[in-house]
Structure 1
Amino acid sequence: MPSGAISDPTPINGATFDYIIIGAGNAGMPLANRLSEDSSKSVLVIEAGGDVRYDDTVRIANETYGDNKKNPDHSWIYPAVMQIENTKPDVWFGKGIGGSTNVNGQVWNAPSKAQVEAIAKLGNDGWSWEDLLKYYKRAQDYHPPSAELAADPGVTYDPEVHNSGGPVTISHPNITFVPQTQSVFVKAVKTALGMDRAQDLQSGDNVGVAFVAQTIHPNSTLQRVSSATSYFTPIENSRSNLVILLKSRATKIIWDDSANGTDAKAIGVEFQQYQGGQTFTAKTRGEVILSAGAMRSPFLLELSGVGDPRRLSTIGIAPKVNLPGVGLNHIEQYQVGTGAPVLNISWHGFGASSSIAQSNAIQLFGKNVTEVESYVRSKHATWAQDQVNGGAAYNVEGIMKQYELMTDGIFSNQVPIGENFFGNGFWGPLSSLSMSMYVLTPYSRGYVHAISSNPWSDPVFNPRFFTVPFDMDMEVAHLRSARKIFNTTEMQSIMYNTTFSPLCNCTLDSAEEYGFLRSHAIQSYSTLDHSVGTCSMMPKEYGGVVNSKFMVYGTQNLRVVDASIIPMQLSAHPQATVYAIAEKAADIIKNQHTNSTQS
Structure 2
Amino acid sequence: MMLHSVSWLGLLAATLFYFIIPSYATDFMQYVSLSLTAAKEFDYVIIGGGQAGLVVASRLSEDPSLQVAVIEAGPSGLEKENAPKIDVPAANLYNSPGQSPMNWNWTTTPQDGLHGKSKPWPRGRVLGGSSAINGLYYIRQSEREQNLWAKIAGDANDLWGWENMLRALKKSENFTAPTDEARQTGEIHWNNTAHGNKGPIGVSWPAVSYPPVGAFVESAGAVSAPATNNPDSGAAWGTFVATSAINPSNWTRTTSRTGYIDPFTYRPNLQVLTDHMVSKINFDTSNKDAVKATSVNFMKKKGGKVFQVNATREVILSAGAVNDPQILQISGIGDKGLLDSKKVPVVVDLPGVGFHLQDHLSAGVEYKPKNASELPPAKLTNDARVDSFVNSATSYTNTSTLLGNLTNQVLDAARKNASKAVQAYNAPDAVKKGYNLTYTTTANDVYGTPIGAMELLFAMTFGQIQVQAALQHPFSRGSITIKSDDIFDAPIINPSYLEQDTDIALLRAGFRMARAILQQKPLSDHVSDEVHPGNNVQSDDQWDNWIRDSVGTEYHPSCTCSMLPREMGGVVDKNLLVYGTSNLRVIDAAVPPLSVSAHLMSVTYGIAEIGAEIVHSHKDDYKPGQGGDGKSDGDNQGQSNKASAGAAGGAGSSKSGNGAKGGSGSSSSGGSKTKSNGAIGTRPVTWIGVLGTGVALSLALMI
Shorter chain as denominator, the TM-score bin is over 0.9
Return the letter of the residue paired with 2:218: K
Give the alignment of 1:32-51 within 5 angstroms. 32-51=57-76
Tell me, yes or no, if the aligned pair for 2:418 and 2:439 is still in contact at 8 Å. yes
Unaligned 5+ segments in structure 1 are: 507-511
1:281 aligns with: 308
Per-residue deviation, 1:135:
0.2
Using the TM superposition, name which of 405-414 and 281-290 deviates more. 405-414
2:368 aligns with: 341
Deviations 1:114-138 (A, max 9, x none): 1111112213323210111010000
Return the letter of the residue paired with 1:86: G
SS across alignment from 2:522 = helix
2:202 equivalent to 1:202: no
2:411 aligns with: 373
Return the letter of the residue paired with 1:28: G
Deviations 1:323-358 (A, max 9, x none): 011111111111111211111243236532121111
**Alpha-carbon separation, structure 2, partners of 1:406 and 1:9:** 49
Per-residue deviation, 1:392:
7.8
Return the letter of the residue paired with 1:301: L
2:587 equivalent to 1:561: yes
1:588 aligns with: 614
Tell me, yes or no, if the aligned pair for 1:306 and 1:319 is still in contact at 8 Å. yes
SS across alignment from 2:212 = helix
Per-residue deviation, 1:318:
0.6
1:302 aligns with: 329
Return the letter of the residue paired with 1:242: L
1:186 to 217, 238, 245: 217
Using the TM superposition, name which of 280-289 and 518-527 deviates more. 518-527
2:278 equivalent to 1:245: no
1:577 to 603, 613, 622: 603
Using the TM superposition, name which of 333-342 and 22-31 deviates more. 333-342
**Alpha-carbon separation, structure 2, partners of 1:582 and 1:390:** 32
Per-residue deviation, 1:252:
0.5
**Alpha-carbon separation, structure 1, partners of 2:431 and 2:182:** 50
Tell me, yes or no, if the aligned pair for 1:6 and 1:244 is still in contact at 8 Å. no
**Alpha-carbon separation, structure 2, partners of 1:34 and 1:309:** 35
SS across alignment from 1:370 = helix
**Alpha-carbon separation, structure 2, partners of 1:478 and 1:489:** 19
2:152 equivalent to 1:122: yes
1:594–1:517 CA distance, 2 compared to 1 (3 A)? same
2:241 aligns with: 211
SS across alignment from 1:115 = helix
**Alpha-carbon separation, structure 2, partners of 1:370 and 1:554:** 42
Tell me, yes or no, if the aligned pair for 1:8 and 1:245 is still in contact at 8 Å. no
Give the alignment of 1:402-417 within 5 angstroms. 402-417=438-453
Return the letter of the residue paired with 2:244: Q
Give the alignment of 1:388-403 within 5 angstroms. 389-391=425-427, 394-403=430-439
Using the TM superposition, name which of 298-307 and 151-160 deviates more. 151-160
SS across alignment from 1:581 = helix
Tell me, yes or no, if the aligned pair for 2:61 and 2:269 is still in contact at 8 Å. yes
Tell me, yes or no, if the aligned pair for 2:400 and 2:407 is still in contact at 8 Å. yes
Tell me, yes or no, if the aligned pair for 1:255 and 1:264 is still in contact at 8 Å. yes
Unaligned 5+ segments in structure 2 are: 7-23, 377-385, 624-643, 645-703
2:564 equivalent to 1:531: no
**Alpha-carbon separation, structure 2, partners of 1:53 and 1:170:** 21
**Alpha-carbon separation, structure 2, partners of 1:246 and 1:7:** 15
SS across alignment from 1:268 = strand
Tell me, yes or no, if the aligned pair for 1:288 and 1:557 is still in contact at 8 Å. yes
**Alpha-carbon separation, structure 1, partners of 2:428 and 2:176:** 42
**Alpha-carbon separation, structure 1, partners of 2:196 and 2:244:** 14
Return the letter of the residue paired with 1:17: F
1:433–1:466 CA distance, 2 compared to 1 (3 A)? same
- CA RMSD in angstroms, aligned pairs only: 2.0
Tell me, yes or no, if the aligned pair for 2:399 and 2:448 is still in contact at 8 Å. no
Tell me, yes or no, if the aligned pair for 1:43 and 1:243 is still in contact at 8 Å. yes
Deviations 1:355-409 (A, max 9, x none): 11111111211122233222222222122222xx333874433211111111223
**Alpha-carbon separation, structure 2, partners of 1:142 and 1:437:** 28
1:446 aligns with: 478
2:509 aligns with: 477
1:68 aligns with: 97
**Alpha-carbon separation, structure 2, partners of 1:18 and 1:451:** 32
Return the letter of the residue paired with 1:324: P
Tell me, yes or no, if the aligned pair for 2:328 and 2:334 is still in contact at 8 Å. yes
1:10 to 29, 32, 40: 29
Per-residue deviation, 1:462:
1.1
Give the alignment of 1:133-144 within 5 angstroms. 133-144=166-177
2:354 to 315, 327, 340: 327
Tell me, yes or no, if the aligned pair for 1:393 and 1:399 is still in contact at 8 Å. no
Tell me, yes or no, if the aligned pair for 1:328 and 1:394 is still in contact at 8 Å. no
Tell me, yes or no, if the aligned pair for 1:381 and 1:396 is still in contact at 8 Å. no
2:206 to 173, 182, 204: 173
Give the alignment of 1:483-494 within 5 angstroms. 483-494=515-526
Return the letter of the residue paired with 1:49: G
Using the TM superposition, name which of 82-91 and 281-290 deviates more. 82-91
SS across alignment from 1:135 = helix
1:52–1:504 CA distance, 2 compared to 1 (3 A)? same
Per-residue deviation, 1:8:
6.7
Tell me, yes or no, if the aligned pair for 2:98 and 2:122 is still in contact at 8 Å. yes
2:455 to 400, 419, 429: 419
1:411–1:527 CA distance, 2 compared to 1 (3 A)? closer
Question: What TM-score does the superposition give when structure 1 sets the normalisation length?
Answer: 0.93
1:363 aligns with: 401
2:626 aligns with: none
SS across alignment from 1:86 = coil
Tell me, yes or no, if the aligned pair for 2:238 and 2:396 is still in contact at 8 Å. yes
1:112 aligns with: 142
Deviations 1:455-484 (A, max 9, x none): 211111111100111111111111100121
Tell me, yes or no, if the aligned pair for 1:139 and 1:580 is still in contact at 8 Å. yes
**Alpha-carbon separation, structure 1, partners of 2:75 and 2:245:** 21
1:7–1:245 CA distance, 2 compared to 1 (3 A)? farther
Per-residue deviation, 1:17:
0.5
2:580 equivalent to 1:544: no
Tell me, yes or no, if the aligned pair for 2:279 and 2:297 is still in contact at 8 Å. yes
Per-residue deviation, 1:46:
0.5
Using the TM superposition, name which of 3-12 and 103-112 deviates more. 3-12
Q: How many residues align?
A: 579
Return the letter of the residue paired with 2:60: L
Tell me, yes or no, if the aligned pair for 2:4 and 2:26 is still in contact at 8 Å. no
Tell me, yes or no, if the aligned pair for 1:330 and 1:392 is still in contact at 8 Å. no
Tell me, yes or no, if the aligned pair for 1:145 and 1:171 is still in contact at 8 Å. yes
Return the letter of the residue paired with 1:3: S
Tell me, yes or no, if the aligned pair for 1:409 and 1:415 is still in contact at 8 Å. no
Tell me, yes or no, if the aligned pair for 2:399 and 2:449 is still in contact at 8 Å. no
Return the letter of the residue paired with 1:305: G
2:271 equivalent to 1:224: no
**Alpha-carbon separation, structure 2, partners of 1:346 and 1:108:** 25
Per-residue deviation, 1:448:
0.8
Per-residue deviation, 1:240:
0.2
Using the TM superposition, name which of 152-161 and 538-547 deviates more. 152-161
**Alpha-carbon separation, structure 1, partners of 2:26 and 2:355:** 34
Identity %: 27
